[in-house]
Amino acid sequence: MAESNLPKGYEPWDVEKKWLDHWEENKTFTPDPEAEGDPYSIVIPPPNVTGVLHMGHALNLTLQDILCRYQRQQGKNVLWVPGTDHAGIATQNVVERQLKTEGKTRDDLGRDKFIERVWEWKEEKGGHILKQIRRMGASVDWTRECFTFDEQRAKAVREVFVKLYEEGLIYKGNYIINWCNRCHTALADDEVEHSPRPGHFYHIRYKISDGSGELIIATTRPETMLGDTAICVNPEDDRFKHLIGKTAILPLVGRELPIIGDSYVDMEFGTGALKVTPAHDMNDWELGRKHNLEVLAVFDEDGNINENAPAKYQGIFKDDARAIIVNDLKGDGCLVSIEDHEHSVGECYRCKSVIEPHVSEQWFVAMKPLAEKARAAVPGETQIFPPNWEKVYYEWLDNIRDWCISRQIWWGHRIPAWTCEECGELIVSLTDPDKCKCGSTRLSQEEDVLDTWFSSALWPFSTMGWPDQTAELAKYYPTSVLITGFDILFFWVARMMMMGIHFQDQVPFKHVYIHALVRDEHGKKMSKSTGNVIDPLEMSGKYGTDALRFTLTAFAAMGRDIKLSEQRIEGYRHFVNKIWNSARFALMNFEDQKLDASLDDARGLANEWILHRLEEVKDSMSKSIEEYRFNEVAQTMYRFIWNEFCDWYLEMIKPDLYSDDQSRKGPTLKVLWTVLSETMVLLHPVMPFVTQEIWSVLPGIENDDIATVAFPEKRDNCRNAKAVEQMELFQGIVSAVRNIRTELLIAPSKKLELIVRTSSETAQTLLNDNADLIKALARLDSVVAGPDAQGPSASGTAVVQGNEIFVPLAGAVDFESELARLDKEFGKLDKELNVIEKKLSNKGFISNAPAAVVEKEKGKLAEINDKKAKLTELKERLVSVME
């Protein structure tokens, strides 16, 4: 036997680095837009430049890479664009924290110096996640790496802003927005995370000004009452409609509040009367606009009570003011009651501070005109997988509000708008203006920057070089598919749809695949606080990237969250080893034979069956990948490689491989080479490294880079349903003998006899033709098959496809000794059972022992009962055989 060109054990780390370097140095994944092949393109969801790779990223990258590698195999001209997002708030926070350790603030540096400092940080630390993406084997085109804040993307952002402004879709105005007191910036609605928190309903007495009665109003935020400018009731509410037009006195302040009527008020919620604070509640803002109410802000940008409130409260932080105000209301006799109430509280998605509705001058995008086209494009021009996400997509677009795009930070695309200090003219321009139309050169640019998601919304076409009309844009837009998590369906996916349709007159992607969440093995969301995070880089380093990728693929069922554990990754590392060892075995046998000839002379059950199965695997792989059923891809390859190729085929062909008869050995070697080489190509999109390493040492390979090898051609002449039927019977016979041996505890070294009463001439011929193979695989001395065959009464029996199997047991099993051994084992188990049952029937033990100890004893009880049941089945089997 020849020596294998592969080391005895697979060590992934050196292999991975070698091929990552090879692919990058050779620009294997850098396509030419002028080259042949239908376009296939994906833009990577750009991770934050501050980020580190987590398991969600690992899943996302794996699935995208499977698609890209597979589509290259199909002859497509594939572009996969990598890049990162400048992550305005997150990145600025990182650098500000650095400055804090130096005793400085961004104001100490000034805007220009601070931006320089952030760029320095980005160059030094910002590429960390890109290195981690490389580790995952992502076949992206690194020559086309993009950054949402680089020069070309900045050009695109400015073009879009100016055009939308000129079309009247971007405007500036006073509006209520989500304000973070900590980050000192506005946030879009979908940047606010809502979570339930325990709180209270405070019932407050508002007296009617003319002395005719009072209104009890319930609120969760009594501190906002300082900014009340009206009370609203439902005009259909018989309890209160007579009060509409009157006024009430605002407690603690004394200001008169008009009582208005509006059907918006829910008569069943709270007390049915609503305090209206337009400056500090989104819904109240709308009511205020509708009824032309005064907008009175009583909190400043830091969350402190301002000069619009009574002097005694001014300067106090809003949360601290609540207790003071509640105490004052109690003292004035205006606090009726307090009841517990859990309510949803908005938090900043970055710093987790409570969000405060805040009225300020901001920049907005009018969303409804854009949203209508984006909604109409699904599911016609763009399909969402799984389709149940379409409903969520529709609901968000149907209820969309204008998008606040200005952020009060420095790191980001500065809004290209200038105000003339002489005449007040607002100038929005593609180039920096020198002077106003009034002739003044005193122009001041907006201090605010654009929301990070504004530049991300342009990603599918800005990465292709737009607004320049590039070859990439012409070839690869619209992109083929977007793979992303459900959590940015609104942040990003819907906005890309709107911008793509508006500026390119085409949807940005034809398919959107929403992948599931990766949870821990118990189904809990991974988080640092609970300590259940599984680090993909640690797993990759421990078990190899292929094992991690295959694990994620195996559990990536559409619409179903992944329950991940380290044990599962370790389990698939064993699968990698199985592949490696099977390749080593094959390589030891190839020697110098010509292995690229036709398969016309491939005869024999094993060869005909495996070639048929290979064709079925090709069909299954293509269908599953194209339908985004990634788990089926992994299941198909696992079953084929481990169960069929390794466990059956390699064992069945050993007699051929060890034969001196070249008429047997030669054709089998060709089949073995064909199946191994094509299986590596099929598996490559999921496991790029081990397949590449094996491929590189296969004899007869002209192209040593498997990443550029075409999907194996289909061979209809290798399909053989008859061979499959015969193989099912063959496997059934061998498995039945193995089961009898296992059930009756017959040593593997003990040779047995097999007698089969066949149900057909076909079965008889099959068994007789393959008798030597059956003997080898089932460890038999002899095989007798025929329609009149009959085994002795003391036989292990089974029926396979109507064929009766007899395994004579005389001399193979000492029945008396075995029964005696079983009786002894039963006695031992009964003693153990008695001790445990006494413990568990003891009330003192149950009530005093720790719960874990009690559960452990119950587990022992179940284990012993299970063992007794299995031994009872064995005893009954032995007795039945003896009779």
Binding-site annotation, residues? 528
- Find the length of the chain: 883
CB atoms < 10 A from the CB of 656, how many?
22
800 bridge partner residues: 803
CA dist 698 and 233 (Å) reads: 81
CA dist 184 and 623 (Å) reads: 51
Lookup result for tokens 């076909």:
762
How is residue 290 written in tokens?
A: 């509708």
Contacts of 820 (CB under 8 A, 6+ apart): none
Side-chain-side CA neighbours of residue 725 (13 Å): 7
| Burial per residue of 774-786, b for 16 or more beta-carbon CB atoms within 10 angstroms, e otherwise | bbebbbbeebbbe
Provide the H-helix boundaries in 591-701. Answer: 605-626, 630-638, 650-657, 662-683, 688-695
CA dist 742 and 746 (Å) reads: 6
Prior bond to 699 cis, omega within 30?
no
CA diameter of the chain:
115
152 bridge partner residues: none
Q: What is the CA radius of gyration of the chain?
A: 37
Task: Measure Cα distances from 448 to 64, 85, 227, 406, 412 in Å.
Answer: 36, 18, 27, 6, 9
Query: Which residues are part of a known binding site for ATP?
Result: 528
- Phi, psi (rounded to 5 degrees) for 691: -70, -40
How is residue 407 written in tokens?
A: 């952020």
Lookup result for tokens 């992206």:
140
H/E element holding 273?
Answer: strand 273-276
Residue 628 near residue 513 (C-beta atoms within 8 A): yes
Full DSSP string of 341-367: EEEEEEEETTT-PBEEEEEEEEEEE--
CB atoms < 10 A from the CB of 533, how many?
14
